[in-house]
Amino acid sequence: MKVALAQLNYTIGDFEGNASKIIAEINRLKQEDVDLVVFSELSVCGYYPHDLLEKKEFIAKADDAVAEIAKHCHGIAALVGAPRINRHERGKTLFNAALFLADGEIKSSHNKTLLPTYDIFDEYRHFEPNREFSLVEYKGEKIAVTICEDLWDEQPTANEFGKDKLYSISPMEELAKLNPDFVVNLSASPFSYNQEGWRKNVLITKAKKYGLPILYCNQVGAQTELVFDGGSVYIDATGEIVKELKYFEEDCLVLDTTALGEKELQPKVDYIEKIHDALVLGILDYFKKMGFKQATLGLSGGIDSAVTVVLAVRALGAENVRVLLMPSKYSSDHSVNDARELAENLGIRYDVVNIQSAVDQFEAALAPLFEGCSPDVTEENIQARARGIYMMAISNKFGHILLNTTNKSECAVGYGTLYGDMNGGLAVLGDVYKLDVFKLSRFMNKDGEVIPENTIVKPPSAELRPDQKDTDSLPEYEDLDTMLFNYIELNKSPKEIAALGYDEAVVRRVIRMVNTNEYKRFQAAPILRVSSKAFGFGRKMPLVARY
């Protein structure tokens, strides 16, 4: 059978646009005599629509789009993902379905069995799990149709309790009893740099266990926080990856299941390059799908704003990025010069607004209220909030989206000012630890200096008081990032982290900072997710707790 994996970028709720994209691909592939084209999970409506699934109009539009797509399936069949109404008397209103379209109509529906409810996923909120198993029989082939998590029944539960099977049922065990010739998987599996190998291992393990080829079609593109990296694959019955599609861009693979030809794999690249590409795609799609074109941010001469502005330029183009340099009396000449040099290297518009007079006016107005009080973090935050006012003014006046530049290390310990440097419509680096921000800067400079060397090598500082350094109040980032990763991503206890060679009192202080700053993150901009555990809706913690 001649099968195509169509790895496309969808927009949530854009039924007309998504259907047009799917139909165009179907019509193109007809010319290549393709028998079956496979699209990704919930491709018709985009993944994941959340509580839009509770709106009747949303489901009706999905049904209409599927009907329109089916009209083009003559001489070619397609598998598309869409929500479908559960007609049974009991259960949730909807199924997460893979619909087999042929001869101008919906021939069969194959519903998702395993509905993830961990981390970023909350599918059982909307969908009923499948309990009936059947194959697609088409052109002499028997096809087992699965949807994303249906192949992940043997994954560990990602906690410290030792359980290695998350689900009580295995869809593949049920489908294998029906003797399929190969497996198709419609997927929407988001990118995370520290779990990228896990996904392939799951597919390889399933192919080996059941002795069946797997055709895996993943979504590509970003939906607010989530970045889908593509990387669709064909894995043969021995568990060997034979064909692999591109990462972070649309792609299509046509293969003959009886004559696969030469291996076609993507080049291996470092995880930092993948994070870079994920963030560029995340910015690009956030702006494009929101209907915005231009971005702004405050360029301080520090590493975080430098990396953010380079990512923004690579996503949106230099003509669509505008920055402000906002020095105060504590800003070093080096920082201002570094920011100017970077802006000129990138060819972007920059303006300089000295905030000191505004800060002085705030402090003068507050002086009677603060009489007898020593200067402290309050005065530092006034500077950050003054900058926030200027940045939001540019955003409002010119319709630019303000990009937040806070990294994950700072976000974790609350090293940021609410309504100041935490302002923004999108947090670009909120899931990137500080050490990886530095690695990103080196990657950006690999073909020549873009970010000034001084920005990279100078000690990190918020420059809100004389000679301030981040390490005045935080451990060295080499230690801090390791502690944070073990606590946030790996769920380790203070004692377990201290056993790695850290002072337990320091570990507990860091963890206390993480826990007590949950209220700040609750109010923060959406964060582009590039790890297995990002701040945001994938990490639900109480704002008020004693832990």
Three-state SS for 459-512 is CCCCCCCCCCCHHHCCCCHHHHHHHHHHHHCCCCCHHHHHCCCCCHHHHHHHHH
- Quick one: which of 411, 477, 533 has its CA closest to 120? 533
Structure tokens at 64: 């209409």
124-180 per-position pLDDT tens digit = 999 999 999 999 999 999 999 999 999 998 765 545 555 567 788 899 999 999 999
40 Cβ partners below 8 Å, 6+ apart?
A: 7, 8, 10, 47, 81, 186, 187, 188, 217, 218, 219
Average pLDDT value for the chain: 94
Catalytic residue among 148, 217, 252, 411: 148
390-433 per-position pLDDT tens digit = 999 999 999 999 999 999 999 999 999 999 999 999 999 999 99
Catalytic residue among 112, 492, 520, 533: 112
Is the Cβ–Cβ distance between 9 and 20 less than 8 Å? no
Give just the sign of the alpha carbon dihedral 173, 175, 181, 187: negative
The residue among 164 and 500 whose pLDDT is bigger is: 500
41 is known as an active-site residue: yes
- pTM of the model as a whole: 0.95
Given the DSSP bridges, would you call strands 426-427 and 295-298 parallel, antiparallel or unpaired?
A: unpaired
82-105 per-position pLDDT tens digit = 999 999 989 999 999 999 999 999
Structure tokens at 366: 């507050």
What is the pLDDT averaged over residues 332-361?
A: 93
112 is known as an active-site residue: yes
The residue among 80 and 166 whose pLDDT is bigger is: 80
Share of the chain above pLDDT 90, in %: 87
Catalytic residue among 2, 21, 41, 73: 41
478 is known as an active-site residue: no
**What would you report as the CA-atom Rg of the chain, rounded to the nearest whole angstrom?**
26
